[in-house]
Structure 1
Amino acid sequence: MNENGDMTKILCRTLLNCKTEEDCLALLSDLCTFQEQEQMAQRVAAAKLLLEGKTYAEIMDSTEISSATLSRVSRAVHHGSGGYARLIPRDGR
Structure 2
Amino acid sequence: MEFCDAAGLNVLVTAGREAGQRSGELRLVSRNESFRRLLESTLLDAGLRVYDSLAHAVLAPPARVSPHDGTDTPVPKRAEAAVPGL
| TM-score under structure 2 length normalisation | 0.31
- Larger helix fraction of residues: 1
Structure number with higher strand proportion: 2
**Larger-Rg structure:** 1
Structure with the larger RCO, 1 or 2 (CA within 8 Å, 6+ apart): 2
Instruction: Give me the TM-score of the superposition, normalised by structure 1.
Output: 0.29
